[in-house]
């Protein structure tokens, strides 16, 4: 891979990450109290994050439809999509654990990383615990964590859908 493409990919990822972090901050997703309020449907329910969810689903819907018309992404040779489509106990258990942690802490990985900029000690502890959990899981599973885009190994290619 040439240096120009790598720099372009880095800058695109940096820009997307900054935009995502800004959106998380603007929407209130980095405020654990607001997130817990959204999840507390039988108590002091705060529906404001529902609008964030609807907006995210709408953007994703059109983004996925657009990607299906493309042969490959702008800055890569192929799309990197998950190979597995099986819904099994491991997937359901992981989703349940994620949801329980999100409900208890009021944070999930993206908002936690964005909230680190606020200097909140509780968020820092959460981020450290999250990093430790990721490392423990990776060691326990024998290094089977997903490879980042551009990592060595076979790429899974998505065929463009017929329009």
Query: Is residue 12 assigned to a domain?
Result: yes
Q: How many domains does the chain have?
A: 1
Query: Is residue 163 assigned to a domain?
Result: no
Q: Output the pLDDT for position 151.
A: 52
Query: Is residue 101 assigned to a domain?
Result: yes
Q: With contact defined as beta carbons under 8 Å apart, do 76 and 9 qualify?
A: yes
Q: Output the pLDDT for position 122.
A: 85
Sequential DSSP letters for 68-123: TT-SS-TTSSS----S-----HHHHHHHHHHHHHHHHHS--HHHHHHHGGGT-HHH
Cα 8–chain centre separation: 21
Phi and psi torsions of 126, nearest 5° = -60, -45
Q: Output the pLDDT for position 28.
A: 85
Query: Is residue 85 assigned to a domain?
Result: yes
Please give the residue range of the domain that contains residue 28: 3-140
* CA atoms of 78 and 158, how far apart (whole Å): 7
CA angle (100, 56, 52) in 5-degree steps: 70
Which SS3 state, helix, strand or coil, does residue 60 take? helix
Query: Is residue 148 assigned to a domain?
Result: no
pLDDT averaged over 10-residue windows placed end to end, the chain, 163 residues: 86 92 87 87 89 91 92 87 86 89 86 85 88 87 58 47 44
CA angle (130, 59, 145) in 5-degree steps: 30
Q: Give the DSSP H or E segment for 17.
A: helix 3-27
Q: Output the pLDDT for position 62.
A: 94
Q: Output the pLDDT for position 145.
A: 52
Query: Is residue 156 assigned to a domain?
Result: no
Query: Is residue 123 assigned to a domain?
Result: yes
* CA atoms of 35 and 47, how far apart (whole Å): 10
Q: With contact defined as beta carbons under 8 Å apart, do 102 and 39 qualify?
A: yes
Which SS3 state, helix, strand or coil, does residue 42 take? coil
Q: Output the pLDDT for position 113.
A: 87
Query: Is residue 32 assigned to a domain?
Result: yes
Q: Output the pLDDT for position 96.
A: 92
């Amino acid at each position: 891979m040439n240096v120009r493409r790598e720099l372009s990919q880095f800058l695109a990822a940096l820009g997307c990450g900054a935009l995502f972090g800004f959106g998380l901050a603007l929407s209130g997703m980095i405020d654990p109290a607001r997130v817990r309020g959204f999840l507390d449907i039988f108590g002091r329910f705060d529906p404001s994050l529902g609008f964030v969810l609807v907006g995210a689903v709408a953007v994703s819907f059109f983004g996925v439809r657009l990607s299906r018309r493309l042969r490959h992404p702008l800055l890569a040779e192929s799309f990197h999509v998950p190979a597995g489509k099986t819904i099994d106990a491991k997937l359901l258990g992981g989703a349940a654990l994620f949801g329980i942690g999100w409900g208890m802490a009021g944070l999930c990985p993206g908002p936690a990383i964005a909230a680190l900029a606020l200097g909140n000690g509780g968020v820092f502890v959460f981020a450290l615990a999250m990093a430790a959990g990721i490392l423990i899981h990776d060691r326990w599973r024998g290094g089977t964590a997903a490879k980042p885009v551009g990592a060595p190994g076979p790429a899974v290619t998505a065929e463009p859908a017929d329009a």
